[in-house]
Chain A
Protein backbone atom coordinates (compact mmCIF):
# COMPACT_ATOMS: atom_id res chain seq x y z
CA UNK A 1 0.00 0.00 0.00
CA UNK A 2 1.23 3.53 -0.68
CA UNK A 3 2.29 5.55 2.35
CA UNK A 4 0.04 8.38 3.40
CA UNK A 5 2.63 11.09 2.73
CA UNK A 6 4.47 10.79 -0.53
CA UNK A 7 7.94 12.26 -0.81
CA UNK A 8 8.30 14.54 -3.81
CA UNK A 9 11.46 16.54 -4.30
CA UNK A 10 11.10 19.37 -6.78
CA UNK A 11 14.00 21.63 -7.65
CA UNK A 12 13.83 24.81 -5.57
CA UNK A 13 10.80 26.54 -6.95
CA UNK A 14 9.90 30.15 -6.30
CA UNK A 15 6.38 31.41 -5.82
CA UNK A 16 4.33 30.46 -8.90
CA UNK A 17 3.63 34.08 -9.84
CA UNK A 18 7.38 34.84 -9.99
CA UNK A 19 8.16 31.93 -12.33
CA UNK A 20 7.99 31.87 -16.13
CA UNK A 21 5.05 29.93 -17.57
CA UNK A 22 5.39 26.19 -17.07
CA UNK A 23 4.44 25.72 -20.71
CA UNK A 24 4.25 28.25 -23.52
CA UNK A 25 3.69 27.19 -27.12
CA UNK A 26 3.28 29.30 -30.22
CA UNK A 27 1.76 27.80 -33.36
CA UNK A 28 3.19 24.44 -32.33
CA UNK A 29 2.73 21.85 -35.07
CA UNK A 30 3.98 18.32 -35.54
CA UNK A 31 3.52 16.21 -38.65
CA UNK A 32 3.85 12.44 -38.91
CA UNK A 33 4.34 11.19 -42.47
CA UNK A 34 2.89 14.46 -43.72
CA UNK A 35 -0.22 14.31 -41.52
CA UNK A 36 -0.56 16.84 -38.70
CA UNK A 37 -0.89 15.39 -35.21
CA UNK A 38 -0.68 18.94 -33.85
CA UNK A 39 -1.76 21.70 -36.20
CA UNK A 40 -0.80 24.99 -34.58
CA UNK A 41 -1.28 25.05 -30.81
CA UNK A 42 -0.67 28.29 -28.92
CA UNK A 43 -1.04 27.55 -25.25
CA UNK A 44 0.14 29.06 -21.99
CA UNK A 45 0.08 27.18 -18.70
CA UNK A 46 1.04 29.12 -15.59
CA UNK A 47 3.62 27.66 -13.23
CA UNK A 48 2.34 25.48 -10.43
CA UNK A 49 -0.95 24.59 -12.10
CA UNK A 50 -2.50 21.18 -12.67
CA UNK A 51 -4.07 21.11 -16.12
CA UNK A 52 -5.92 18.33 -17.92
CA UNK A 53 -5.51 17.79 -21.66
CA UNK A 54 -8.78 16.34 -22.91
CA UNK A 55 -9.95 15.06 -26.22
CA UNK A 56 -10.75 11.95 -28.26
CA UNK A 57 -8.19 9.55 -29.67
CA UNK A 58 -5.98 11.31 -32.20
CA UNK A 59 -6.67 14.75 -30.72
CA UNK A 60 -2.94 15.42 -30.24
CA UNK A 61 -2.67 15.01 -26.46
CA UNK A 62 0.18 12.52 -26.52
CA UNK A 63 2.00 14.40 -29.28
CA UNK A 64 1.86 17.61 -27.23
CA UNK A 65 3.24 15.82 -24.17
CA UNK A 66 6.02 14.17 -26.19
CA UNK A 67 7.02 17.51 -27.70
CA UNK A 68 7.20 19.10 -24.25
CA UNK A 69 9.21 16.13 -22.95
CA UNK A 70 11.69 16.56 -25.87
CA UNK A 71 10.95 13.01 -27.05
CA UNK A 72 10.15 14.45 -30.49
CA UNK A 73 10.86 17.79 -32.14
CA UNK A 74 8.37 20.32 -33.50
CA UNK A 75 7.76 20.49 -37.23
CA UNK A 76 6.78 24.15 -36.93
CA UNK A 77 6.29 26.65 -34.17
CA UNK A 78 7.86 26.91 -30.73
CA UNK A 79 7.40 25.46 -27.29
CA UNK A 80 9.05 26.29 -24.01
CA UNK A 81 9.13 24.79 -20.54
CA UNK A 82 9.96 27.13 -17.66
CA UNK A 83 11.05 29.64 -20.31
CA UNK A 84 13.47 27.17 -21.98
CA UNK A 85 12.99 26.27 -25.64
CA UNK A 86 12.29 22.54 -26.01
CA UNK A 87 14.28 22.36 -29.24
CA UNK A 88 17.22 24.69 -28.60
CA UNK A 89 17.58 24.01 -24.86
CA UNK A 90 16.48 20.37 -24.89
CA UNK A 91 19.17 19.24 -22.44
CA UNK A 92 18.09 21.84 -19.86
CA UNK A 93 14.42 21.05 -20.42
CA UNK A 94 15.10 17.37 -19.65
CA UNK A 95 16.36 18.40 -16.22
CA UNK A 96 13.00 20.01 -15.49
CA UNK A 97 10.52 17.59 -17.01
CA UNK A 98 9.32 14.16 -15.91
CA UNK A 99 7.23 12.19 -18.38
CA UNK A 100 5.02 9.16 -17.86
CA UNK A 101 4.14 7.78 -21.28
CA UNK A 102 2.02 4.82 -22.35
CA UNK A 103 5.23 2.78 -22.37
CA UNK A 104 6.87 2.51 -18.99
CA UNK A 105 10.51 2.59 -20.12
CA UNK A 106 11.42 -0.19 -17.68
CA UNK A 107 13.87 -3.05 -18.23
CA UNK A 108 12.13 -6.43 -18.03
CA UNK A 109 15.17 -8.38 -16.83
CA UNK A 110 15.97 -6.00 -13.98
CA UNK A 111 14.18 -6.01 -10.66
CA UNK A 112 12.05 -3.08 -9.53
CA UNK A 113 14.84 -1.92 -7.23
CA UNK A 114 17.49 -2.25 -9.95
CA UNK A 115 15.34 -0.28 -12.37
CA UNK A 116 14.97 2.55 -9.86
CA UNK A 117 18.66 2.45 -8.90
CA UNK A 118 19.56 2.88 -12.55
CA UNK A 119 17.08 5.74 -12.88
CA UNK A 120 18.46 7.39 -9.72
CA UNK A 121 21.96 7.36 -11.19
CA UNK A 122 20.74 8.77 -14.49
CA UNK A 123 18.73 11.47 -12.71
CA UNK A 124 21.56 12.37 -10.32
CA UNK A 125 19.32 11.71 -7.32
CA UNK A 126 20.99 12.66 -4.02
CA UNK A 127 21.15 9.87 -1.41
CA UNK A 128 20.02 7.42 -4.07
CA UNK A 129 19.72 4.30 -1.92
CA UNK A 130 17.37 5.91 0.59
CA UNK A 131 15.36 7.64 -2.11
CA UNK A 132 14.92 4.42 -4.08
CA UNK A 133 13.64 2.60 -1.00
CA UNK A 134 11.31 5.50 -0.21
CA UNK A 135 9.98 5.59 -3.77
CA UNK A 136 9.37 1.83 -3.73
CA UNK A 137 7.43 2.21 -0.49
CA UNK A 138 5.51 5.23 -1.78
CA UNK A 139 4.24 3.38 -4.84
CA UNK A 140 3.42 0.25 -2.86
CA UNK A 141 6.09 -2.02 -4.32
CA UNK A 142 8.45 -2.42 -1.37
CA UNK A 143 7.53 -6.09 -0.97
CA UNK A 144 8.13 -6.77 -4.67
CA UNK A 145 11.35 -4.75 -4.92
CA UNK A 146 13.54 -7.73 -5.83
CA UNK A 147 11.14 -9.25 -8.35
CA UNK A 148 11.89 -8.90 -12.02
CA UNK A 149 9.73 -6.39 -13.84
CA UNK A 150 9.04 -9.05 -16.48
CA UNK A 151 6.70 -10.68 -13.94
CA UNK A 152 4.82 -7.47 -13.09
CA UNK A 153 1.28 -6.67 -14.18
CA UNK A 154 0.61 -3.57 -16.28
CA UNK A 155 -0.58 -1.74 -13.17
CA UNK A 156 2.55 -2.60 -11.19
CA UNK A 157 4.72 -1.44 -14.06
CA UNK A 158 2.89 1.86 -14.09
CA UNK A 159 3.38 2.25 -10.33
CA UNK A 160 7.08 1.63 -10.76
CA UNK A 161 7.26 4.20 -13.57
CA UNK A 162 5.58 6.67 -11.21
CA UNK A 163 8.20 5.76 -8.61
CA UNK A 164 10.88 6.72 -11.12
CA UNK A 165 9.34 10.19 -11.39
CA UNK A 166 9.61 10.53 -7.60
CA UNK A 167 13.40 10.13 -7.86
CA UNK A 168 13.79 13.27 -9.95
CA UNK A 169 13.27 16.92 -9.16
CA UNK A 170 11.03 17.96 -12.03
CA UNK A 171 9.22 21.27 -12.05
CA UNK A 172 6.83 20.00 -14.76
CA UNK A 173 5.29 16.52 -14.70
CA UNK A 174 3.65 15.19 -17.85
CA UNK A 175 1.29 12.23 -17.36
CA UNK A 176 -0.27 10.38 -20.29
CA UNK A 177 -3.37 8.49 -19.18
CA UNK A 178 -1.95 7.89 -15.68
CA UNK A 179 -5.03 6.03 -14.43
CA UNK A 180 -5.03 3.48 -17.24
CA UNK A 181 -4.35 -0.12 -16.09
CA UNK A 182 -4.42 0.82 -12.39
CA UNK A 183 -6.59 -0.76 -9.71
CA UNK A 184 -8.30 1.21 -6.95
CA UNK A 185 -5.13 1.55 -4.85
CA UNK A 186 -3.17 2.57 -7.91
CA UNK A 187 -5.71 5.24 -8.80
CA UNK A 188 -5.57 6.59 -5.25
CA UNK A 189 -1.79 6.69 -5.59
CA UNK A 190 -2.11 8.92 -8.67
CA UNK A 191 -4.57 11.13 -6.77
CA UNK A 192 -2.06 11.43 -3.92
CA UNK A 193 0.75 12.27 -6.31
CA UNK A 194 -1.29 14.96 -8.03
CA UNK A 195 -2.07 16.45 -4.63
CA UNK A 196 1.55 16.28 -3.48
CA UNK A 197 2.90 17.92 -6.62
CA UNK A 198 0.31 20.63 -6.44
CA UNK A 199 1.19 21.32 -2.83
CA UNK A 200 4.87 21.96 -3.59
CA UNK A 201 4.24 23.99 -6.74
CA UNK A 202 5.13 21.43 -9.40
CA UNK A 203 3.21 22.03 -12.64
CA UNK A 204 1.32 19.02 -14.00
CA UNK A 205 -0.21 18.27 -17.40
CA UNK A 206 -2.45 15.19 -17.47
CA UNK A 207 -3.66 13.76 -20.78
CA UNK A 208 -6.90 11.90 -20.30
CA UNK A 209 -10.24 11.11 -21.91
CA UNK A 210 -12.12 12.21 -18.85
CA UNK A 211 -11.50 14.28 -15.70
CA UNK A 212 -14.28 12.70 -13.65
CA UNK A 213 -11.79 10.94 -11.42
CA UNK A 214 -9.53 13.91 -10.62
CA UNK A 215 -11.69 16.98 -11.26
CA UNK A 216 -11.08 18.37 -7.77
CA UNK A 217 -7.31 18.18 -8.24
CA UNK A 218 -7.31 20.33 -11.38
CA UNK A 219 -6.92 24.04 -11.97
CA UNK A 220 -7.87 24.04 -15.63
CA UNK A 221 -8.67 22.06 -18.75
CA UNK A 222 -7.62 22.16 -22.40
CA UNK A 223 -9.88 20.52 -24.96
CA UNK A 224 -8.05 19.32 -28.06
CA UNK A 225 -9.44 17.87 -31.25
CA UNK A 226 -7.62 16.94 -34.45
CA UNK A 227 -4.47 18.74 -33.40
CA UNK A 228 -6.10 22.02 -32.44
CA UNK A 229 -7.20 23.60 -29.17
CA UNK A 230 -10.99 23.80 -29.14
CA UNK A 231 -11.26 25.60 -25.82
CA UNK A 232 -9.66 26.15 -22.44
CA UNK A 233 -11.41 26.51 -19.11
CA UNK A 234 -10.56 27.04 -15.47
CA UNK A 235 -7.56 28.90 -14.10
CA UNK A 236 -3.91 29.03 -15.13
CA UNK A 237 -4.33 28.14 -18.78
CA UNK A 238 -5.03 30.24 -21.87
CA UNK A 239 -4.82 29.64 -25.60
CA UNK A 240 -4.91 31.53 -28.85
CA UNK A 241 -6.02 30.35 -32.30
CA UNK A 242 -3.28 29.42 -34.78
CA UNK A 243 -1.76 32.38 -36.59
CA UNK A 244 -3.00 32.80 -40.19
CA UNK A 245 0.37 31.69 -41.58
CA UNK A 246 0.25 28.40 -39.64
CA UNK A 247 -3.42 27.70 -40.24
CA UNK A 248 -2.98 28.03 -43.99
CA UNK A 249 0.13 25.86 -44.34
CA UNK A 250 -0.77 23.15 -46.87
CA UNK A 251 0.56 20.44 -44.57
CA UNK A 252 -1.34 21.69 -41.56
CA UNK A 253 -4.62 22.83 -43.03
CA UNK A 254 -5.91 19.25 -43.34
CA UNK A 255 -6.29 19.03 -39.58
CA UNK A 256 -9.04 21.62 -39.54
CA UNK A 257 -11.19 19.76 -42.06
Chain B
Protein backbone atom coordinates (compact mmCIF):
# COMPACT_ATOMS: atom_id res chain seq x y z
CA UNK B 1 0.00 0.00 0.00
CA UNK B 2 2.88 2.32 0.84
CA UNK B 3 4.51 1.57 -2.50
CA UNK B 4 1.25 2.36 -4.27
CA UNK B 5 0.96 5.66 -2.40
CA UNK B 6 4.54 6.55 -3.26
CA UNK B 7 4.00 5.78 -6.94
CA UNK B 8 0.75 7.74 -6.96
CA UNK B 9 2.59 10.71 -5.43
CA UNK B 10 5.32 10.46 -8.08
CA UNK B 11 2.76 10.18 -10.90
CA UNK B 12 0.89 13.24 -9.66
CA UNK B 13 4.15 15.19 -9.33
CA UNK B 14 5.05 14.39 -12.95
CA UNK B 15 1.56 15.33 -14.14
CA UNK B 16 1.62 18.55 -12.11
CA UNK B 17 5.04 19.48 -13.46
CA UNK B 18 3.85 18.89 -17.04
CA UNK B 19 0.71 20.94 -16.38
CA UNK B 20 2.75 23.82 -14.94
CA UNK B 21 5.12 23.83 -17.91
CA UNK B 22 2.15 23.70 -20.27
CA UNK B 23 0.45 26.62 -18.54
CA UNK B 24 3.69 28.63 -18.62
CA UNK B 25 3.93 28.94 -22.34
CA UNK B 26 3.95 25.70 -24.23
CA UNK B 27 0.39 26.34 -25.40
CA UNK B 28 0.07 22.72 -26.51
CA UNK B 29 -3.57 22.54 -25.47
CA UNK B 30 -4.63 25.67 -27.34
CA UNK B 31 -2.78 24.71 -30.53
CA UNK B 32 -4.15 21.17 -30.28
CA UNK B 33 -7.71 22.46 -29.99
CA UNK B 34 -7.22 24.75 -32.99
CA UNK B 35 -5.77 21.87 -34.99
CA UNK B 36 -8.79 19.68 -34.17
CA UNK B 37 -11.16 22.48 -35.18
CA UNK B 38 -9.34 22.93 -38.50
CA UNK B 39 -9.47 19.18 -39.18
CA UNK B 40 -13.23 19.19 -38.55
CA UNK B 41 -13.80 22.19 -40.82
CA UNK B 42 -11.73 20.68 -43.63
CA UNK B 43 -13.60 17.39 -43.40
CA UNK B 44 -16.82 19.38 -43.52
CA UNK B 45 -15.69 21.22 -46.68
CA UNK B 46 -14.56 17.97 -48.27
CA UNK B 47 -17.92 16.28 -47.69
CA UNK B 48 -19.94 19.21 -48.97
CA UNK B 49 -23.06 20.91 -47.62
CA UNK B 50 -25.32 17.82 -47.51
CA UNK B 51 -26.54 17.90 -43.88
CA UNK B 52 -27.60 14.24 -43.82
CA UNK B 53 -24.21 13.10 -45.12
CA UNK B 54 -22.38 15.27 -42.55
CA UNK B 55 -24.52 13.93 -39.71
CA UNK B 56 -23.91 10.34 -40.81
CA UNK B 57 -20.16 10.94 -41.01
CA UNK B 58 -20.02 12.88 -37.74
CA UNK B 59 -18.87 10.01 -35.44
CA UNK B 60 -15.97 9.17 -37.75
CA UNK B 61 -14.99 12.80 -38.19
CA UNK B 62 -15.15 13.35 -34.43
CA UNK B 63 -12.71 10.56 -33.66
CA UNK B 64 -10.38 11.27 -36.56
CA UNK B 65 -10.06 14.85 -35.34
CA UNK B 66 -9.48 13.65 -31.77
CA UNK B 67 -6.85 11.09 -32.80
CA UNK B 68 -4.99 13.42 -35.19
CA UNK B 69 -4.93 16.25 -32.67
CA UNK B 70 -4.04 13.75 -29.95
CA UNK B 71 -0.75 12.93 -31.68
CA UNK B 72 0.17 16.60 -31.33
CA UNK B 73 -0.85 16.74 -27.68
CA UNK B 74 1.13 13.71 -26.47
CA UNK B 75 4.16 14.77 -28.49
CA UNK B 76 4.14 18.23 -26.92
CA UNK B 77 3.91 16.77 -23.42
CA UNK B 78 7.14 14.86 -24.02
CA UNK B 79 8.92 17.75 -25.72
CA UNK B 80 9.56 19.52 -22.44
CA UNK B 81 11.75 16.57 -21.44
CA UNK B 82 14.16 17.70 -24.14
CA UNK B 83 15.02 20.79 -22.03
CA UNK B 84 18.74 20.65 -21.18
CA UNK B 85 19.01 16.95 -20.35
CA UNK B 86 15.72 16.74 -18.46
CA UNK B 87 14.88 13.28 -19.83
CA UNK B 88 18.14 11.81 -18.55
CA UNK B 89 17.61 13.40 -15.16
CA UNK B 90 14.06 12.04 -15.06
CA UNK B 91 15.44 8.55 -15.76
CA UNK B 92 18.01 8.86 -12.96
CA UNK B 93 15.53 9.57 -10.17
CA UNK B 94 15.18 6.55 -7.87
CA UNK B 95 11.50 5.97 -8.63
CA UNK B 96 9.45 3.28 -10.36
CA UNK B 97 9.43 3.98 -14.08
CA UNK B 98 5.76 3.01 -14.28
CA UNK B 99 4.98 5.94 -12.00
CA UNK B 100 6.62 8.29 -14.52
CA UNK B 101 4.55 6.67 -17.29
CA UNK B 102 1.42 7.09 -15.19
CA UNK B 103 2.18 10.77 -14.61
CA UNK B 104 2.76 11.42 -18.30
CA UNK B 105 -0.39 9.46 -19.19
CA UNK B 106 -2.48 11.39 -16.66
CA UNK B 107 -1.35 14.65 -18.27
CA UNK B 108 -2.11 13.25 -21.72
CA UNK B 109 -5.52 12.02 -20.57
CA UNK B 110 -6.45 15.44 -19.19
CA UNK B 111 -5.59 17.13 -22.48
CA UNK B 112 -7.33 14.40 -24.51
CA UNK B 113 -10.45 14.59 -22.37
CA UNK B 114 -10.67 18.34 -22.83
CA UNK B 115 -10.05 17.85 -26.53
CA UNK B 116 -12.72 15.13 -26.80
CA UNK B 117 -15.37 17.18 -25.02
CA UNK B 118 -14.65 20.32 -27.08
CA UNK B 119 -14.58 18.42 -30.37
CA UNK B 120 -17.82 16.63 -29.47
CA UNK B 121 -19.45 20.00 -28.88
CA UNK B 122 -17.99 21.34 -32.13
CA UNK B 123 -19.33 18.35 -34.07
CA UNK B 124 -22.76 18.98 -32.59
CA UNK B 125 -22.69 22.60 -33.75
CA UNK B 126 -20.92 22.24 -37.12
CA UNK B 127 -22.72 19.11 -38.33
CA UNK B 128 -26.13 19.75 -36.70
CA UNK B 129 -25.98 16.57 -34.63
CA UNK B 130 -28.15 16.35 -31.51
CA UNK B 131 -25.80 15.24 -28.76
CA UNK B 132 -27.95 16.39 -25.84
CA UNK B 133 -30.13 13.30 -25.77
CA UNK B 134 -27.18 10.91 -25.56
CA UNK B 135 -24.77 12.94 -23.48
CA UNK B 136 -24.03 10.23 -20.90
CA UNK B 137 -23.01 7.39 -23.29
CA UNK B 138 -21.16 9.94 -25.42
CA UNK B 139 -19.27 11.20 -22.38
CA UNK B 140 -18.37 7.64 -21.37
CA UNK B 141 -17.14 7.00 -24.91
CA UNK B 142 -15.04 10.17 -24.87
CA UNK B 143 -13.54 9.25 -21.48
CA UNK B 144 -12.62 5.73 -22.62
CA UNK B 145 -11.35 6.91 -26.01
CA UNK B 146 -9.26 9.67 -24.43
CA UNK B 147 -7.72 7.20 -21.99
CA UNK B 148 -6.76 4.88 -24.84
CA UNK B 149 -5.20 7.62 -26.96
CA UNK B 150 -3.29 8.91 -23.91
CA UNK B 151 -2.05 5.43 -22.98
CA UNK B 152 -0.81 4.63 -26.50
CA UNK B 153 0.41 8.14 -27.20
CA UNK B 154 2.42 8.39 -23.99
CA UNK B 155 4.23 5.16 -24.81
CA UNK B 156 5.04 6.08 -28.41
CA UNK B 157 5.98 9.64 -27.51
CA UNK B 158 8.53 8.01 -25.20
CA UNK B 159 9.75 5.90 -28.14
CA UNK B 160 10.20 8.91 -30.42
CA UNK B 161 11.23 11.69 -28.02
CA UNK B 162 14.95 11.19 -28.73
CA UNK B 163 14.47 11.08 -32.51
CA UNK B 164 15.04 14.08 -34.73
CA UNK B 165 12.09 13.08 -36.92
CA UNK B 166 9.79 12.54 -33.93
CA UNK B 167 6.92 14.62 -35.36
CA UNK B 168 6.81 12.27 -38.36
CA UNK B 169 7.55 9.02 -36.55
CA UNK B 170 5.02 9.46 -33.75
CA UNK B 171 1.86 9.30 -35.93
CA UNK B 172 3.42 6.58 -38.10
CA UNK B 173 3.87 4.37 -35.04
CA UNK B 174 0.85 5.44 -33.04
CA UNK B 175 -2.02 5.60 -35.53
CA UNK B 176 -1.97 1.93 -36.67
CA UNK B 177 -2.08 0.81 -33.03
CA UNK B 178 -5.08 3.08 -32.44
CA UNK B 179 -7.12 1.40 -35.20
CA UNK B 180 -9.12 -0.85 -32.80
CA UNK B 181 -9.81 2.14 -30.56
CA UNK B 182 -10.92 4.21 -33.54
CA UNK B 183 -13.30 1.44 -34.63
CA UNK B 184 -14.76 0.97 -31.15
CA UNK B 185 -15.12 4.69 -30.45
CA UNK B 186 -16.77 5.45 -33.80
CA UNK B 187 -19.19 2.53 -33.44
CA UNK B 188 -20.00 3.44 -29.84
CA UNK B 189 -20.57 7.08 -30.80
CA UNK B 190 -22.81 6.08 -33.73
CA UNK B 191 -24.82 3.75 -31.51
CA UNK B 192 -25.18 6.39 -28.80
CA UNK B 193 -26.33 9.07 -31.26
CA UNK B 194 -28.87 6.68 -32.81
CA UNK B 195 -30.29 5.74 -29.43
CA UNK B 196 -28.65 2.28 -29.50
CA UNK B 197 -31.41 0.56 -31.55
CA UNK B 198 -29.50 -2.75 -31.82
CA UNK B 199 -28.19 -2.85 -28.25
CA UNK B 200 -24.56 -2.83 -29.41
CA UNK B 201 -23.31 0.16 -27.40
CA UNK B 202 -22.31 -1.96 -24.41
CA UNK B 203 -20.19 -4.28 -26.55
CA UNK B 204 -18.28 -1.40 -28.15
CA UNK B 205 -17.69 0.22 -24.78
CA UNK B 206 -16.36 -3.11 -23.51
CA UNK B 207 -13.96 -3.19 -26.43
CA UNK B 208 -12.74 0.28 -25.45
CA UNK B 209 -12.30 -0.78 -21.82
CA UNK B 210 -10.32 -3.85 -22.88
CA UNK B 211 -8.16 -1.76 -25.23
CA UNK B 212 -7.46 0.79 -22.48
CA UNK B 213 -6.54 -1.83 -19.89
CA UNK B 214 -4.20 -3.68 -22.27
CA UNK B 215 -2.48 -0.50 -23.42
CA UNK B 216 -2.11 0.98 -19.92
CA UNK B 217 -0.65 -2.25 -18.54
CA UNK B 218 1.68 -2.70 -21.54
CA UNK B 219 2.76 0.94 -21.42
CA UNK B 220 3.46 0.90 -17.69
CA UNK B 221 5.42 -2.35 -17.99
CA UNK B 222 7.64 -1.24 -20.87
CA UNK B 223 7.99 2.55 -20.56
CA UNK B 224 11.01 2.20 -18.30
CA UNK B 225 13.05 0.69 -21.13
CA UNK B 226 12.36 3.78 -23.23
CA UNK B 227 14.06 5.96 -20.64
CA UNK B 228 17.30 4.00 -21.02
CA UNK B 229 19.86 5.70 -23.23
CA UNK B 230 21.54 2.51 -24.48
Contacts and interface: CB of A to CB of B under 8 A. Distances in A.
A101 interface: yes
Contacts, number: 77
> Per DSSP, are chain A's interface residues mostly helix, strand or loop, or mixed?
loop
Contacts of A91: 94
Contacts of B94: 91, 94-95, 122-124
Tier of interface size on chain A: 20 to 34
A70 B92 contact: yes
A122 B20 contact: no
B24 interface: yes
A235 B85 CA distance: 34
Nearest to B227: A71
A99 interface: yes
B53 interface: no
B22 to A, nearest CB: 8
A97 B92 CA distance: 9
Interface in B13-30: 13, 17, 20-21, 24-26
Contact of A110 (B6, B21, B89, B91): B21
A148 B92 contact: no
Contacts of B228: 73
Interface string B84-105: 1110111111110000000000
A119 B91 CA distance: 12
B89 A72 contact: no
A106 B88 contact: no
A233 interface: no
A99 to B, nearest CB: 6
Interface residues of B, number: 26
Interface string B142-167: 00000000000000000000000000
A15 interface: no
Given A73-B230, A110-B20, A157-B84, A105 B89 contact: yes
A69 B94 CA distance: 11
B91 A71 contact: yes
Contact of B86 (A94, A105, A114, A124): A105
Contact of A101 (B13, B17, B85, B230): B85
Given A73-B230, A107-B21, A110-B21, A118 B92 contact: no
Nearest to A30: B230
A106 B83 contact: yes
Contacts of B92: 69-71, 94, 97, 99, 105
A155 to B, nearest CB: 14
A129 interface: no
Contacts of B20: 109-110, 114
B84 A106 contact: yes
B113 interface: no
A109 B21 contact: yes
A122 B95 contact: yes
A231 interface: no
Given A94-B92, A105-B88, A110 B230 contact: no
B80 A109 contact: yes
Contacts of B13: 118, 121-122
A95 B93 CA distance: 8
A103 B6 contact: no
Interface of B: 6, 9-10, 13, 17, 20-21, 24-26, 80, 83-86, 88-95, 228-230
Q: Which 5 A-B pairs have the closest CB atoms?
A: A103-B85, A105-B89, A122-B93, A109-B24, A94-B94
Given A104-B89, A106-B84, A123-B94, 19 more contacts: A71-B91, A71-B92, A71-B229, A72-B230, A73-B228, A94-B92, A103-B88, A103-B89, A105-B89, A106-B86, A106-B89, A107-B21, A107-B83, A109-B24, A109-B25, A110-B21, A110-B24, A121-B10, A122-B95
Interface of A: 69-73, 91, 94-95, 97, 99, 101-110, 114, 118-119, 121-124, 148, 157
21 contacts: A71-B91, A94-B92, A95-B94, A101-B88, A103-B88, A103-B89, A104-B89, A105-B92, A108-B80, A109-B21, A109-B24, A109-B25, A110-B24, A114-B20, A118-B17, A121-B9, A121-B13, A122-B10, A122-B90, A122-B93, A122-B95
